Structure formats: structure tokens, C-alpha cells
Chains A and B, each alone.
Chain A
Amino acid sequence: MTERPRDAGWFAGAALVLAVAVLVGVSIGPAGPPWWRVPLALIDHLPLISLDSGVSEAEWNILWKIRMPRVILGGLVGGMLSIAGASYQGVFRNPLVDPYLLGVAAGAGLGATIALTTGRGVTALWPVDPVPTAAFVMALVTVGVTYAVGTSRGLTGAGAGGRSGTTLVLAGIAVVSFATAVQTFILQRHNEVVREVFQWVLGRLSGATWSDVLLILPYVVISSIVLILHRRQLDLFRVGDVEAATLGMSVSRSRLVIVVTATLGTAAVVSVSGLIGFVGLVIPHVIRLMAGASYRRLLPLSLMLGGAFLILVDIPGRMLTNPAETPIGVVTAFIGAPFFIYLLRTRRVPV
């Protein structure tokens, strides 16, 4: 590999931040052992190592079966949303874009609403919760519709060969409005699930289990790898579709692969965690302001630091449990927005 040496420093630093975030996330919580015993307990459970951590079996179960899956899930969701957001911003050359642009969120919301309203009586006895599946499928269907609508010929610019970025973005706006309208229509007729849908929409990591983690892990791993493999193409998108084409890139094919990959990963995490906003839009910008805008650096850093961010902002949500848990989407915006404004006002803004 011929990455520049300074990249290695950034990646090592981000990995350290992520590791610390995981450790802090597992160590803090309303019940369970004192925080300083947690690292000891983790070391104790490594193979071939045995030491007296003073953590009981019941306490270990809290750490391993309740806190750890939630922390890992937060890391996967935050990382996936951030890397997908960075990729979307890249292919559309638009800093205001987030991973929900082409209808992932609207579709997932609609899918969840349908599952929660029409399905409840039928599906109560199913072994698998239908809500994530419905959200996942509808998210993909919605983005598929956006792509189909946004590919009409004749509207597109020279050289883009069909699917120009702007046409797709506009198609996304239309499809999102339509899906949201359908969702509102259904909700109006089923008042009893409004609260449940609302909670789902705001996003949550509570009640996470290892099976949730395993469900989305393959999507996050594969999406992230494929997106990072496209870092060179994403840098090419920065000079625009026309010049990228003259430099030898197959612009529409690269855009399609990147959008499909980012969408698949986003749909998977959203189906489990609900619509956690802000992360996918802002984390990539924060990293651009700190570490520069090259996608070779931006994508891995988004994955690691986006994960660390969501793990850390989930902690206050867990501590303030009364009367109801604060939705994580609220916490991300509450903590992230002021920090972002601070960065905007103190640094030059790259677009």
C-alpha cells in the first residue's frame, strides 16, 4: 500500500478513540459493577488469562448481555451512517446530503408503519419481529423507485451518460414526499400506533441484543469495505462528472455501485435502530474540518469516529432513564449541533 504516512497516524488515532469509546460505553451504566472493575472483568474473560476482577456472574451478565451489544450496535450504526453519509456527499458533490437523501428513511418509516399497523394482529405470534424486515424492504424499494424515476434520459448533462446527480436528488425529494404522505395517511387512520411509530422514527439503541448485532454486522462490514475500496472514485467525483469521465472513470456505474452499497448498509442499520439523524450528515463534515477532505482518509475515519460518537452520546441517554429514555436521535442533535456550529465558526468550510 502506498498510503501517505500521515494517514496511518490518523487511522491509529481514530482506532484508539473508538477503543476508548467502547471501553467507556461498557463501563458506565445505571446498574452493574463499579466502572473501574469493568476492564479487569474484560481481561479476565480473555482466553488463557485469569484474574480476580471482583465482578460477579450476574454483574458480568449485565456487562456482556446488556451493555456490550448496545455499545457494539451503537458503534456499527454510527459508523455505517457516517461512512454512508460521506459517500453520498461525495457522489452527489453536495455537502447538505445525508444517507437518507434518496428515501431510505422515508421508506423505512413507511415500512415500519405498515408493519406496526396492519400486521400487529397477524404477526404477534411470529418468531421474528416483522418491523425491521418491513423497514429494510421498504427502504430498498423506495430508493429503487427514486433511482428508476431519476434516470430518465434527456434531462441529464453531457458526459454523465444518463444518471446525473441533480436529477436523482430531485427524484429523491419527490419520492420522499410521496412516501411520507402515505405514512401520514396510514397514521391518521391508526391513532393507536402513533406513539409507537414516533418512538421508532426517533431511533433507539435500547434493548439491543447480540442477535441485533449479528443481523446487521454482515451488511455493515461488506458495505464499509466496498465503500472504502471506492475512495479513489469518490476523490474523482470531486472534479465533477464531466472531468471524471475524461479522466477515464465510468461515472454512472461508479455512482450506482456507491449509492447501492451505501443504501444497503444504511437500510440495514436503520431497520434495527430507527432513524437516528444528524450523524450521517455532520460526522463527515467534522472529519473534513479536522483531517482534510480526501476520501482516502475520510472514509475510514468516518467509520471509526462515527461509531465512537454514537457510543458516547448514547451514554447520557442510558443514565437518564426516567420517566422514559431520551431518544438517541435527540441526543445526537443536542450534543452534535453545538459542536458543529463551533467548528463552522472557527474553521474554513470545505465543500
Chain B
Amino acid sequence: MSVIEFRDVVVRYDRRVVVQPFSDRVESGEWLGVIGPNGAGKSSLLRALAGLVPHDGSILVDGHDLAAMSNKDRAKLVAYVPQEPLIPDDMSVFDYVLLGRTPYVSYFGVESRHDRDIVAEAIERLELGAFVERMLGELSGGERQRVVLARALAQQAPVLLLDEPTSALDIGHQQQALELVARLRHDDGLTVIAAMHDLTLAGTYTDRLTMIDQGAVVASGLARDVLTAERLGEIYHVCVTVDLDDDGTVIVVPRRGFPTP
């Protein structure tokens, strides 16, 4: 259960500003979806939170400034699932998920029985029990995605960052992965921030959406307020119709043609 506060966060690569001053507050247990076209700065924002790129301003988790933390302390608070995780083919599923326990093991130490129990539990919760001894190279794309989630889960961090978690999966596995995230969030009270491409899925699974373009926030709020055909045409240069389902689900349907200016 952790609150994340962004205060005027700016990310630069050399001199180029990729995230404009960004301020937001993500409540404990909330799922924030970050959307926007390619290169908008979604990943950079997540990478700043994961401590991978330097940033100006401050990011606080439960009032603690992330910039002042060691890698180890940050890893106990924030688990990060990259867009394209580097999967060593000849590592077993168990050993890979075990890497998630790194922040809890002393420098020269070995994982304890407790660590191994947590790993076994994470593997079980992601329905990977049958694969424990398998090598990662033998797994399908959907299974690999679950293994990476299991590693993040073994980290026992209250904040989960997902960088386009489903971009490499077919529609069935996309849904399966997002359902798993939703369940884990619910059971463990995780605060989730996810950069997402599929707007309908983003609207369906998240509590709130923030749309950014060229590093700046253009809209933030409920899916039905953020995802308007007009705004999508303007930001994504896409021609869509947006329908509202009876249960409030926002459905974004691409149409043929170019957006009318």
C-alpha cells in the first residue's frame, strides 16, 4: 500500500527534454494507465520512477524521495517490468524468479528458505507450477510474460511498474496477463502504473488514465473523459469512433480514413 507523488518531474536525455514538468499523485492501490503515441515519454516516466534515468524534481513513495535511495532500497519499493525483458534462454524459471529476491539478500549472502518459499508461491500464483524446472528458452511468449511478472511479484514491492506489458502478446494472452495483474493488485493492494498501447484495454483495466504527448500531459482522468474521438484524432492522428458500452466500458474502434482536422 503505497502512495506515489510526482512533483515537477523532468527527464532529459542530454539536453532534450522528454518529460515536461510532470506532477501527479497516485493513490495507494490505484492503477494508473499512461497512454500516448510512440515517443511521447511514457517509458521515460516509468524509467525515472524505476531509477534508471536521472530526473529533476522529486518522486516520493510514501513520502520517501526515491532519488536518495540505494538501488537495493528502491527495489524493495518498486518492481519494474520492462517492455522487452532480457530473457536468458538457459536459465530455469525458478532461478529467474529467484532474482526477484535480490534486494533482500546481503551482498555475499544466499537466499534463505523463506526467500525460496516466496519464490515458489509467486510461481504458483502465476500458474507456472508446471514450469518450475523448465528453461526460459522453452517457454512461449505468454508464459515468459508470466515468468517476468512472477519475478516482479517475488520482489514484494508495493509499487508495480509495467512498460507496455502486453505489446508482444496476442489478444488472449493480453487479457490473461492483465487479468493476472488485476488480481495481484487486488490481493496484495499493489499500486500499479502501466504504460499501455491498446486504448480499449487501458480504459477497461485501469482506474484512471493520463495521456501524454511530447512529454506533456494533455489529459488525465476517467477513461470516458480522456478517450474522446476528437482528442485521439489530434494526438494520435488516428480516425476512430469511441463507443460507451452499457456497463460504462469505453470502446475505441479504429475507422478507415484520416482524421478530420
A-B contact count (CB 8 A): 89
A5 on the interface (CB 8 Å rule)? Answer: no
Q: Of residues 212 to 271 in A, which have CB atoms within 8 Å of B's CB atoms?
A: 229-230, 232, 235-236, 238-240, 242-243, 245-251
Which residue of A2, A3, A159, A292 is within 8 Å of B90 (Cβ)?
A292
Contact A158 B52 (CB under 8 A): yes
Interface centre among A158, A232, A350 (most CB of B within 10 A): A232
A243 close to B71 (CB less than 8 A): no
A interface: dominant SS: loop
Scan residues 88-102 of chain B and give those whose CB is less than 8 A from a CB of chain A: 88-92, 95-96, 99-100, 102
* A67 partner residues in chain B, CB cutoff 8 A: none
* A249-B108 in contact (CB<8A): no
Interface range on chain B (Cβ under 8 Å from partner) = 35 or more
- Determine the residue in chain A with the shortest Cβ distance to B75: A248
CB pair A247–B99 under 8 Å, yes or no, is: yes
Interface residues in A, total, Cβ within 8 A: 28
A293 close to chain B: CB less than 8 A: yes
Residues A246 and B86 in contact, CB atoms below 8 Å apart: no
B99→A229 contact, CB < 8 A:
no
Evaluate contact between B99 and A236: CB separation under 8 angstroms. Answer: yes
Q: Is the CB of B85 within 8 A of A239?
A: yes
Choose one: A235, A242, A251, A288; the contact of B82 (CB below 8 Å).
A242
Q: Which residues of A contact B95 (CB under 8 A)?
A: 235, 294
Check B29 for interface membership: any CB of A closer than 8 A: no
Q: Can you name 21 A-B pairs with beta carbons within 8 Å?
A: A230-B108, A232-B110, A238-B88, A239-B85, A239-B88, A239-B96, A243-B80, A245-B71, A246-B78, A246-B79, A246-B80, A247-B75, A247-B100, A247-B151, A248-B72, A248-B102, A250-B72, A288-B90, A293-B88, A293-B91, A351-B89
Give the A-binding residues of B (Cβ under 8 A).
Answer: 47, 50-53, 70-76, 78-80, 82, 85-92, 95-96, 99-100, 102-103, 105, 108-113, 116, 151, 155
Interface residues of A, Cβ cutoff 8 Å to B: 1-3, 158-159, 229-230, 232, 235-236, 238-240, 242-243, 245-251, 288, 292-294, 350-351
